[in-house]
A and B are shown apart, each in its own frame.
Chain A
Amino acid sequence: MMFTLMQKKLLNNYQQDFPLSTTPYKDIALSLGVSEDDVLLAFSELKNKKFINRIGSIITPNLIGTSSLIAMAIPENQLQSVANIVSSYPEVNHNYERENRFNLWFVLITKNEKDLQSIIEAIETEAGFKTMQLPLLADYFINLGFDIDFDD
């Protein structure tokens, strides 16, 4: 991957504190010594090419509402159909296939615990398989960015 010096800085330096300002791209432009339009264009390109997922707010899990990681062990020949059922629920925000006996892993997000349990029950009924609930008990969250290594 060939990134310009500005793109590398945009990727690495704004994982923690994207400016909260009327003109955030102008603030970044001033600190990097480039133009506001260049910064917006570079971010748009990084976003369009999917090098960044989004510029957005990072919400602390479970302070507002409830969520849980859920795992299911599904026979290989039924995995796709169960995965489709799971993904069809709007409350599911991630759904991954993983190499394990527990091969389907997803996160459910709801307004409260009661809704969480009723959706789990609905999924189990529709899929015909049990779930394993793995809610957060503690989050060892340390506020550090991920230092991207650009050498290949």
Chain B
Amino acid sequence: MEIDEIDRQIIAATQTGLPLTLKPYQTIADSIGISDEVVMQKIVVMQEQGIIRRIAAVPNHYRLGYKYNGMTVWNIEDKHINEMGECIGQLNFVSHCYHRPRHLPEWPYNLFAMIHSKTEEGVKRQQQIIADLLGQYNLGQDVLYSTRILKKTGLRIR
């Protein structure tokens, strides 16, 4: 999909965070040299096009006590991957759920689901709930915990 230069500037100005001013869209508009009406209209259009999903206050799970953040990975029979992905993506403790390619033999997993809990028992319980839902279509699983965040930015496009 193609976007114009103004759209690109609006995304650049909003993806890392709106300025904490009383009129944040006005602040962005001033920096680009357009009106806040145009900024908001263009955001609406980009939302309709699916480029922008939403404007959100993004919570920091870790700081809010969710110390156990696991990347669960599953080996799902190919013909059931979409059905299973949609099922797991709906769970309220799953923040992201993706189909990604396998790299055999060292990486057999094709479904990724991020889970979050305040306790170790909590993440174990969540993993079990997913395993139960996947049932016979689950051919193998693992969970990877992050031990260090080495870099994190809010950028989604460049």
Contact = CB atoms under 8 A, between A and B. Distances in A.
Q: Do A and B bind?
A: yes
Interface of A: 1, 10-11, 14-26, 36, 40, 43-44, 46-47, 49-61, 63-65, 67, 69, 71, 83, 86-87, 90-102, 105-106, 109-111, 132-144, 146-149, 152
A142 B90 CA distance: 6
Given A10-B57, A63-B1, A20 B40 contact: yes
Given A23-B23, A25-B22, A99-B144, A148 B55 contact: no
A88 to B, nearest CB: 9
B107 to A, nearest CB: 6
B145 A43 contact: no
Is the interface on chain B under 10, 10 to 19, 20 to 34, or 35 or more residues?
35 or more
Given A57-B11, A59-B156, A16 B97 contact: no
B43 interface: yes
Interface in B87-116: 88-90, 92, 95-101, 103, 106-107, 110, 112, 116
A101 B107 CA distance: 10
Contacts of B158: 65, 90-91, 109-111
A92 B36 contact: no
Contacts of A24: 24-25
